[in-house]
Amino acid sequence: MESLLIKGGVPLCGDVTISGAKNAVLPIMAAALLTREPCVIRRVPALSDVKFMGEILTWLGAQVRFEGDSVCIRANKIKGTGDYDLIRKMRGSICIMGPMLGRLKKAAVSLPGGCVIGARPINLHLKGFEALGARVTIANGYARASAKRLIGAEIFLGGRAGSTVLGTANVMMAATLAEGVTVIDSAACEPEVVDLANFLNAMGAKITGAGSPTLTITGVKQLHGTEYEVIPDRIEAATYAIAAAATHGEVTLRGARYDHLHAVFDKLNGAGVRIDRKGSAITVRRNGRLKPVDITTLPYAGFPTDIQAQMMALMTLTPGISIITERIFESRFMHVSELARLGADIEIEGPSAIVKGGKPLSGAPVMASDLRASAALVIAGLAARGTTQVNRVYHLDRGYEQMDAKLRKLGARIQRIEEQ
């Protein structure tokens, strides 16, 4: 297994190009199952999760061809069952279920199961499929849905933590080929859901309300192929912005969407970080002393849960008390114990982490646990005195395209090594 070896203390300076959004491209690749015709998707990041989605679609019978930062997918004939082991390995693959149900009127996928950040149920996905007229069963580790016909319906998709991103994606995809009109209430408003709706409309779907809590999908007989460029990755952009602040550097984000980052930039401004826009370029630099901020994660357009760990790393460097409350997932504080190895002082009280920041961090070996926790550890290592070794860096490669290379280009002393 590989690790990242980081010699901290270097301010990051320069430009970084933001890649396509992982959480947009995964459901968009799955949506290509809805048509026999070829779909070309551009600005596809070279990530292990994306490659894995390609393997799943190939396993289902689609032709998948990656060329540079594009992928061409042609699902001429597909089977209706997702392989148990393949699906279990990546939670995001659950979003093949909606298109399979829409196209074949049947779908069977292995239950994705939980992961380090929470139980990750799919009850809302299945509730949506049932509302469309599908018969849903769970047996032998598989979730199955089948229907003679899919009929449009009004569906409330809100759950324990508000909206569901992939649940909204799944039900929206199935509804594009249902008979009649489907209204999804309490739909997710994330930019990645909007991107998927735009892709589906480019395929001939009839979707309105994307980006609002009420999505309306008028079913059509069939969808056609299309070419589409996915949005930039707002989580990657925010991660580099926070790394710039943590290392007292000055970094310009190229290709990021400012309008996707209001909640993050609001908190960074509050923490004493300067964010300047010049055309499409966004420059981030620390503006004097960092100030503590309190964060509560919420569905979009609130503060994103996928930036919670990275913000916590920044707050460990900030003199004062910051309270970080995680409202989306039930156990997304795996990074706390690893940050403590670097000298961070953080106490967990229920859904909140109380960060007593300001003491300099010192490098140590740490273990990555989930994608965003790994990014938090890299940020802390870049700011810490001495050397930090982040182990199990495969977590990072799932969602960050060439992070070590991009950081080296910004001046970081970071290298990828075989774990001793």
User: From residue 380 to residue 399, what is the string marking binding to ligand EPZ with x (rule CB under 6 A)?
Assistant: -------------------x
Q: Which amino acid is at 149?
A: R
Select from 228, 265, 329, 400 the one that contacts ligand EPZ (CB under 6 A): 329
306 makes contact with ligand EPZ (CB under 6 A):
yes
The candidate with the shortest Cα–Cα distance to 410, out of 382, 387, 389, 391, is: 382
Nearer to ligand EPZ, 192 or 404 (CB): 192
Q: Is 313 helix (H, G, I), strand (E, B) or coil?
A: helix
Active site residue 115: yes
Q: Under the criterion CB under 6 A, does residue 310 sit at the interface with ligand EPZ?
A: no
Applying CB under 6 A, among 3, 19, 23, 198 the residue interacting with ligand EPZ is 23
Q: Contact at 8 Å (CB) between 159 and 205?
A: no
From its phi and psi, is residue 111 left (phi > 0), alpha (psi between -120 and 50) or beta? beta
Give strand pairing partners of 115. 118
Residue type at position 232: P
> Which of 28, 108, 165, 175 lies at the binding interface for ligand EPZ (CB under 6 A)?
165
Displacement of CA 86 from its chain's centroid (Å): 19
Structure-block tokens of residue 235: 């989580």
The encoded tokens of residue 78 equal 């597909």
Q: CB of 31 within 8 A of CB of 99?
A: yes
Q: What whole-number distance in Å separates Cα of residue 314 and Cα of residue 384? A: 11
Based on its alpha-carbon atoms, the radius of gyration of the chain, rounded to whole angstroms, reads 21
Name which position in 48, 70, 123, 331 contacts ligand EPZ (CB under 6 A): 123
What's the closest the beta carbon of residue 305 comes to ligand EPZ, in angstroms? 5
Q: Which of 3, 19, 81, 305 binds ligand EPZ (CB under 6 A)?
A: 305
Q: Which is nearer to ligand EPZ, 304 or 357 (CB)?
A: 304
Q: Quick check: 213 binds ligand EPZ (CB under 6 A)?
A: no
Distance in Å, CB of 90 to ligand EPZ, minimum: 8
Residue 117 Cβ vs ligand EPZ, minimum distance, rounded to whole Å:
6
Stretch that binds ligand EPZ, among 98-106, 161-169, 194-202, 226-234 (CB under 6 A): 161-169
Residue 231 binds ligand EPZ (CB under 6 A): no
**Residue 145, beta-bridge partner list:** 107, 136
Regarding 125 and contact with ligand EPZ (CB under 6 A), the answer is yes
For residue 70, give the 3-state DSSP assignment. Answer: strand
- C-beta of residue 339 within 8 angstroms of C-beta of residue 324: no
Catalytic, out of 72, 95, 115, 189: 115
Contact residues for ligand EPZ, defined by CB under 6 A = 23, 26, 91-92, 118-125, 159-161, 164-167, 305-306, 328-329, 371-372, 399
Active site residues: 115
